[in-house]
Amino acid sequence: MLLVHKVELKPNNKQATYFRKACGVARFAYNWALDQWKKQYQNGEKPTEISLRKLLNACKAEEYPWMQEVTKNAPQQAIKNLGSAFNRFFRKQGGYPKFKKKGIRDSFRADNGPPQKGESAIRVTGKKIQIPCLGWVKITENLRFQGQIKSLTISRVADRWFASISVEIDKLPHVRKNQGIVGVDLGITKLATLSNGMVVEGAKAHTALLKKLKRSSRQLSRKDKKSMNFKKHTQKLARLHARIANIRRDYLHKATTDIVLNHHEIGIENLNVKGMSANRKLARHILDQSFIIQASIGI
């Protein structure tokens, strides 16, 4: 089975520049492939992500030589992601793929190929990780899972870089306790009330930092969009949003993991969160509790 450990990176200026280049190449490849997909479909052809990857490989040396400055996995995996997006669209599990924009969910992925001379392209030693075409980059903590590293995804949140390391392991590192069946009732005042009497309060991070968030947003609105102060304050506001998201995510992971590990069967109500969010008086409180995220994490 595969487990993912997301850890913060501590790159120097040269390494951070490489990350930005790789994210740009991945974004360009995704948008290029989406444009080619539309054109081929309009011409009566049946495009696939495999054919588009071959087409890009055939022309990038002459038309896009700057793509060779980063790992070849960045554009290839981006086109694979586009293929997955179209598969979800055809199965009616998602909308039609859209073009990516700079600065929004910047990321790129690298797969760990077969070991060469006894060593893999992606390796973790202590608090360092080896990234293809770049070398060793510092990380903030040791890898929690021991096993074969399958892939690596580098992403940016505000002004921080993170590595999501996918590791193949033989068995789960935790033991699940069988303490019977439990029902979960979600709410606004209390995040969850269990049938055994346990109450989960909820982080309510957005409510706690709302005053600071409003003040920072007002300050940003008064700045010239072409000024350096606007860019600096945009990063400041992005860090605040990331802090709110991290507090919420950490709380939900701990709460749902505790429930899942201690009960073998869990019943949870099916809520129409989108419909509930239409109530403008309750929308912020409902979304602050993150019912959708909670259900996807573990309950």
Domain end marker among 147, 173, 199 = 173
Q: Are residues 74 and 207 in the same domain?
A: no
In sequence order, what DSSP letters do the residues of the chain get, joined into one string?
-EEEEEEEEE--HHHHHHHHHHHHHHHHHHHHHHHHHHHHHHTT----HHHHHHHHHHHHHHH-GGGGGS-THHHHHHHHHHHHHHHHHHTTSS-------TTSS-EEEEE--S-BTTB-SSEEETTEEEETTTEEEEESS--S--SEEEEEEEEEETTEEEEEEEEE-SS-SS------EEEEEE-SSSSEEETTS-EE----HHHHTHHHHHHHHHHHHTS-TTSHHHHHHHHHHHHHHHHHHHHHHHHHHHHHHHHHHH-SEEEE----HHHHTT-TTTHHHHHHHTHHHHHHHT-
Please give the torsion angle defined by the CA atoms of residues 259, 262, 264 and 265, in that order, rounded to the nearest 10 degrees. -30
Q: Are residues 137 and 39 in the same domain?
A: yes
Q: Are residues 158 and 188 in the same domain?
A: no
Q: What tens digit of pLDDT does each residue of 143-165 get?
A: 888 888 888 999 999 889 999 99
Mean pLDDT of the chain: 87
pTM: 0.80
Tokens of 256: 């749902």
Query: What is the spatial distance between Cα 145 and Cα 289, in angstroms, rounded to a whole number?
Result: 30
Overall domain count for the chain: 2
Q: Are residues 122 and 205 in the same domain?
A: no
User: Structural domain of residue 257, as residue ranges?
Assistant: 181-297
Q: How confident is the model at residue 277 (pLDDT cuts 50, 70, 90)?
A: confident
Mean of the pLDDT values across residues 98-111?
A: 90
Domain end marker among 173, 191, 214 = 173
Mean of the pLDDT values across residues 66-91?
A: 92
Q: How confident is the model at residue 86 (pLDDT cuts 50, 70, 90)?
A: very high
